[in-house]
A and B are shown apart, each in its own frame.
Chain A
Amino acid sequence: MDAAFLLISLLNGLSVGLLLFMLASGLTLIFSMMGVLNFAHASFYMLGAYVAYSITQVIGFWTALLLAPLIVGVLGALFERHALRRVHKFGHVPELLITFGLSYIILELVQLVWGRQAVDFTPPPSLSGALFTIIDAPSSLSFAWGEKPEGCGTGGVRCTTFPAFRAFGMGVAVLMLISIWLLLTRTRIGLVIQASLTHPEAVESLGHNVPRVFMLVFGGGTALAALAGVIGGAMRVTEPSMALTVGAVVFAVIVIGGMGSLAGAFVASVGLGVIESFAVSSDHSIADGLTALGMAVTPETFGFALWSVKLSQIAAILPYLLLVLILIFRPKGLFGSREG
């Protein structure tokens, strides 16, 4: 494994991890405040991507980046106000179920409005190229801004580019992380939110409207999901199945990190992103490892199908494998404070 590969895998993993964290942070925020697991969170992510796509067609990407989260956030707040609040008195299972029903409705509506095929949602021209190129010459490793320079691919010089939009996405995620943190710890509304989390009655008797705070948090969480959707949609593919693929991973992330822990969600999503990106680009298998240790693994060996699966194939199920491992060895999650 050479340094260039290591670096690019690390960067790709970081960008995927930060994207996951944008989703996981909203989900965690809603969960730790209201005790509601928003099953439709990934659906709001998808909705964000599609709304941004439409706005991009009419106005432009930058307006979309701003407007799409706002629109989806308002939709989320309306859902909380008119549907979720109504079932709050029935307990947590109906709350989970209603967001589950919502995920069906959003999926169908998205397919209805935008069709069943993927839409062509791409980064704006100013962000579409490469940010920098890693030049891996036989004797040295160097960087160059922008696209691949002359001389790539000749004389043992290998070049790998890093897309500008990925870097932009990472920037947005970090910015968002800092602003959430500032909002929660340094502003008045943040303090009210924090207090409503642990002492809703006391906050209510101080004259704050706790249900409205909940509505704001739910709307804010869905807006964060939509922001992740704008980035994720343009970075990957905007298609109706994007909610399901990302949704399950995000749930795994917040269990691994510890339910309701923002720091845990951060570590888990970034860690998962990095591990996954290394696994995807490796074609080793357990059988290779065993062979290297001097054990003979042949097609006749018991469980050969299992041993010969390549790491890159496992990458897709890594989040769930980690989930199972964490549950066996540390049931409260990496940073969780309580056992569920």
Chain B
Amino acid sequence: MAANASFNRGRWIVWGGYALLMLVAPLLFTSSLSMTMLSQMGIAIIACLAFNMLLGQGGMLSFGHAVYSGLGSFIAIHALNRVSDGTLALPVSLIPLVGGLGGLFFAALLGYVSTKKAGTPFAMITLGIGELVAAMSLMFPGFFGGEGGITGNRVAGQPFFGITFGPQSQLYYLIAIYTFVCTALMFAFTRTPLGRMLNACRDNPERVEFVGYNTRYVRYIAFMTSGFFMGIAGGLATLNFEIVTSEVVGAIRSGGYLLFTFLGGATFFFGPIIGAVLLVLALVLLSELTQAWLLYLGLVFTFMVMFAPGGIASLIMMNLRVASFGKWRQLLVPYLMLLGAAMIAVTGASAMIEMVYHLQLNQVLGPEMRFAGVPLNAKSKGSWVAAAVVLVVGVLLFELARRRFAPLWGRIQEEIETEIKRREARA
């Protein structure tokens, strides 16, 4: 952190850029699809950041976090319907806050049990509670609306300066404001003594107890804070979709938050933002593009855990470090070679995966299919041999490139370490 705390120029640039990006994004991507995607990204950013409050900052792996966004959604839709029929006088723009309070309430209730443990037992308890709520959502149709869910209408109450939230763009800007404020608040949370204590609970709980803090209490407060922001995300989702079904509390949703928060990078504050953007892209675009997207997702996730446990954010930060020492140019050619070889290997592998999916799911359409514009016949030997050859060549090239890259990377890191030590000695 910069020593000069009174005016931190880098921080102003980053936050200003973040706000500007959200401001101009709908002007660049004007189609209605991109507008809904941008809105969903804003919602997902809040949710993933709130999730990472536990995973990244508290070391708590929650398998049932959709419960809090989902229950927040349900509270919000009931509030919205009250506003619609005039029994509740509340501007629509504050409905997400109602969702947040709902999330907070349920996090306080269920978190009291979950946070009794840390580590692996915590993960299992959240999973169990997630299943409990998901099962109950079908048992109480009065509140959860059963299979069909509950619908609402976000154009309710009096328009405020002509803002009705009817058009998607008006809603987008509401979501953008919420996203920006929530991001800022959650970042501020990491700087509070409580946020620091939470990091300590993740790294060395025993010592925290010795210093005189109750780790369980710290975890509980963090859980409730996270639940509040999850609830806001849920409330915004209510306004965005105008329907809430019981799947918003389900295990699939929880798994999605977990996967993408980790992919984005749990060890850096901004990692989940990348993850949230990827989440929406994968859910909307990738799932249209290929039926095998869950398999790809699982494979990418597994490789990420094995080789880059800091997620995409850590990859970015490592390269930024190399670049800040002016050594990135040396890596450019090896990077391009690695990337090219990886592309070849992935092309071969995914051609084979797509052929298998085609055989399994689209049998009625016949064995012919197109993969990246190339016609393939899933039943002919030629297509399979070609794909296998591409895969093997790609893997071999990748291994060759990696053998050149690995020592170079190691050497650059060593140089940076010595450079840092030299600078420290001089200072």
Which A residues are within 8 Å of any B CB, using their own CB? Answer: 31, 35, 37, 83, 86-87, 90, 92-94, 96-98, 100-102, 104-105, 107-109, 112-113, 115, 244, 248, 251-252, 254-255, 259, 305-306, 309, 313, 316-317, 319-321, 323-324, 327-328, 331, 339-340
The SS class assigned to the A binding surface is helix
Distance A173 CA – B283 CA, assembled complex (angstroms): 42
Tell me the bound Cα distance from A90 to B306 in angstroms.
9
Question: What 14 new A-B contacts, CB under 8 Å, besides A251-B128, A252-B124, A328-B113?
Answer: A87-B306, A96-B123, A98-B306, A100-B258, A112-B295, A244-B251, A248-B131, A251-B124, A309-B140, A317-B136, A324-B132, A327-B113, A339-B117, A340-B118
Knowing A87-B309, A97-B61, A248-B128 touch, does A92 contact B301 (C-beta < 8 A)?
no
Whole-angstrom distance between the Cβ of A195 and the nearest chain B Cβ: 23
Specify which chain A residues have a CB less than 8 angstroms from the CB of B305 in the assembled complex.
Answer: 87, 94, 97-98, 101
**Beyond A248-B127, A248-B131, A320-B132, is A105–B302 a contact (Cβ under 8 Å)?**
yes
Chain B interface helix/strand/loop/mixed: helix
Please state if B298 and A313 are interface contacts (CB–CB under 8 Å).
no
> Quick one: which of B106-128 are within 8 Å of A by CB?
113, 116-125, 127-128
Within 8 A of A (CB), among B357-405: 357, 360
In residues 243-293 of chain B, which contact A (Cβ within 8 Å)? 251, 255, 258-259, 262, 292
Return A260 CB to nearest CB of chain B, in Å: 10
B 54-82 to A, binary, CB cutoff 8 A, 1 in contact else 0? 01000101000000000000000000000
Q: Is B294 an interface residue (CB 8 A)?
A: yes
Residue among B118, B128, B298, B309 having the largest count of chain A Cβ atoms under 10 Å: B128
Q: Which residues of B contact A321 (CB under 8 A)?
A: 132
CA separation between A331 and B302, bound complex, in Å?
32
- Provide 6 A-B residue pairs closer than 8 Å at the C-beta atoms, listed in order of the A residue: A105-B295, A109-B295, A244-B251, A252-B131, A317-B131, A340-B118
List, in ascending order, chain A residues with CB within 8 A of B316's CB: none
Alpha-carbon distance between A113 and B132 when the two chains are bound, in angstroms: 31
How far apart sit A244 and B255, CA to CA, in the bound complex (Å)?
12
Which residues does chain B contribute within 8 Å of A112, judged by CB atoms? 292, 295, 356-357, 360
Taking a contact as CB atoms under 8 Å apart, the answer to whether A323 and B125 are in contact is: yes
**B189 CB → nearest A CB, Å:** 21
Is B125 touching A327 in the complex (CB atoms < 8 A)? yes
What is the CA–CA distance of A96 and B132 in the complex, to the nearest angstrom? 21
Q: Which residues of B contact A31 (CB under 8 A)?
A: 120
Is B155 close to A, CB under 8 A? no
- Inside 8 A of A101's CB, which chain B residues have their CB? 259, 298-299, 301-302, 305
